[in-house]
Structure 1
């Protein structure tokens, strides 16, 4: 135990950028840094040294989930303090490239991975998402925007980028609960198709299409994007889906988009991105998004170029996703009494950590998110300036 505590004290000494306090399993406390502690980390029992050294992200994540670790104060503050310290053992020990899973994800594996995350119940997501059930980065035109407003802004922003006109056809790869395809049909008169691998989302979108009376304009299918045959589109969009295809499938994704786009067709891909390298977090891969891979922005641009697409615009929404996740985390806590009726404590602590740590990651620039707009061949029909995106 003495050796364990000495190891912990050495490990924690330079871990955070803010002053903090640690309470060890024997009841003793230790202060780190100068000034009033911003948060307190409580070790109810030690985590094996080999686990911390071999995979610190999973070790700390599982430690919090199982109450080996408690936190007094903001979880988001703890993670931001970690990422703001460039010399942190945990940050430097988590090199994306070493955590990448090298595999070619089959359609069957992709379906299983999506089911793992998205089919845990529409009722669960309704408790903390916005009214439209949009589960991706919002777009805050003003800092006072509500989450509902930010999500409507995001959908409208993407649809404007696509320069839609009545009669065009649109494919949404990974359509979620259908807000984008519904809005495209209602506001622009386009014929929209959404695809998803989540049966929960599929049923929800079908119900909404019928409720909105849009059966003639909107369709949804429970299929993988690679399974679409015999049809092409004027516009193709994916929002928060590219992160699920896996590193080995990035090239294939853009090849499929090329096949599905009509000549001079336009596409938007909206994806979380790595700053210099792509990769994944081992804890998130195990408990939240199995099979996921966050591509570096340079990987996305390279794949766009290799398909001879015309790259038109790239926009970062990093701060917008940080704000979105902060809203989700607050809503999650407000709905806790309802969530506790159906979910166990380990699940709740897991999702609390996930939402707060992701907010911290975006706020600190540990990861980014970009929208890339590109065309198949030269498209001279777009306006000459970017003003049309913001009207």
Structure 2
């Protein structure tokens, strides 16, 4: 037996929490675990041992992208089986984490990172997102809710938590394709500003504002939130944006929000969270979200408190994101005939792995999704109970 084969046989022995089969590049098939195999991993060729030892997430991610590895079965189930096994490589600290602080999050670099992901093209995202073009965790009031309804629920839920009143001002940091600011203006008659670094999103939001004749209430700017000067708001919301800020800029995010909020103003932060610091993944950082960083719950809680904010509410929506990603993954597969005309096979395999591995990660509890609600200064005008938040 060659050295590579011995290494792989030993690696696979304790990799998954569920029974599976592995077919090696020479045709040999080995069953691991007790019971009927739930999936099979086929190695078309060996991945260099040095790459696996150095950075297993990147090595296996690229292995699947470039067809060195094939998966027979449910990709989400395979990734989840890795996460459930506490001794697997996914639970080991990645050397990339040690290098994270060196990553730049300058205004220019932040714009480049955001455009790398979000400017792939509105036509691409339109194929697998819902009709609102909302690219963040939805809120399922019932298991039967469609993705479209769940995204409507999410926006309505956030706006209720913000306790909006007609005539107030609202800032959405990282406004996406504009569903939240447009809904806020139409439902509550507030004056809403959205900021984004994505030119594709900016174009779409501008078009929506004009089509719905909301120019008097809704505005969008193609700028970094740190560039906003001379304006303050009654409410500041950010959905799925702080993951792009970077560890070194987390405190700056909250201090900026504080400067943008009026006294007694309310802010809601909706974001992916972890339970350990240095939450990043080198494969996702290289191919999906350059410069991404998932902050720990405790990291954010401390920064909110040290910046002088008052906590109102903290809620986990982890399983809502699992369900959201499952919808996206199904939509993606159903749209493959069209996507194949737009993108090559490596891109398709990359996005398939991304959507399914994220769904697995949330379902396994490896990462979470939280909504933080807090105020600038004491706000005694809010209702005494949280029932006003309910849909």
Q: TM-score under structure 1 normalisation?
A: 0.98
- List aligned pairs for 1:35-74, cutoff 5 A: 35-74=35-74
TM-aligned CA deviation for residue 89 of structure 1: 3.0
Q: Which residue is equivalent to 1:390? A: 390
CA distance in structure 1 between the partners assigned to 2:387 and 2:100 by the alignment: 39
Q: Which residue is equivalent to 1:260? A: 260
Cα-to-partner distance string for 1:15-42 (whole Å, 9 max, x where unaligned): 0000000011111111001111100000
Residue 345 (structure 2) pairs with residue 345 (structure 1): yes
Do 1:15 and 1:90's aligned partners in 2 also have CA atoms closer than 8 Å?
Answer: no
> SS at 1:381's partner residue?
coil
CA distance in structure 1 between the partners assigned to 2:270 and 2:102 by the alignment: 23
Q: Which residue is equivalent to 1:291? A: 291
Q: Which residue is equivalent to 1:137? A: 137
The number of residue pairs the alignment matches comes to 391
Q: Which residue is equivalent to 1:92? A: 92
CA distance in structure 2 between the partners assigned to 1:94 and 1:270 by the alignment: 26
TM-aligned CA deviation for residue 97 of structure 1: 4.2
Q: Which residue is equivalent to 1:220? A: 220
Do 1:102 and 1:248's aligned partners in 2 also have CA atoms closer than 8 Å?
Answer: no
Do 2:23 and 2:40's aligned partners in 1 also have CA atoms closer than 8 Å?
Answer: yes
Cα-to-partner distance string for 1:104-158 (whole Å, 9 max, x where unaligned): 4100000000010000100000000010000000011111111011100100000
Do 2:243 and 2:292's aligned partners in 1 also have CA atoms closer than 8 Å?
Answer: yes
- List aligned pairs for 1:307-386, cutoff 5 A: 307-386=307-386
- List aligned pairs for 1:145-294, cutoff 5 A: 145-294=145-294
CA distance in structure 2 between the partners assigned to 1:357 and 1:84 by the alignment: 13
> SS at 2:311's partner residue?
strand
Query: Which runs of no fewer than 5 residues in structure 1 stay unpaired?
Result: none
Question: Could you tell which deviates more after superposition, 103-112 or 173-182?
Answer: 103-112
TM-aligned CA deviation for residue 279 of structure 1: 1.9
Q: TM-score under structure 2 normalisation?
A: 0.98
> SS at 1:292's partner residue?
coil
> SS at 1:331's partner residue?
helix
- List aligned pairs for 1:74-89, cutoff 5 A: 74-89=74-89
Query: Which runs of no fewer than 5 residues in structure 2 stay unpaired?
Result: none
TM-aligned CA deviation for residue 103 of structure 1: 3.6
> SS at 1:207's partner residue?
helix
TM-aligned CA deviation for residue 99 of structure 1: 5.9
Aligned residues: CA RMSD: 1.1
Q: Any runs of at least 4 consecutive aligned residues in structure 1 with deviations exceeding 2 A, and if so which?
A: 89-104
Do 2:54 and 2:95's aligned partners in 1 also have CA atoms closer than 8 Å?
Answer: no
Cα-to-partner distance string for 1:317-371 (whole Å, 9 max, x where unaligned): 1000011000000000000000000100000000000000000000000001100
Do 1:14 and 1:89's aligned partners in 2 also have CA atoms closer than 8 Å?
Answer: no
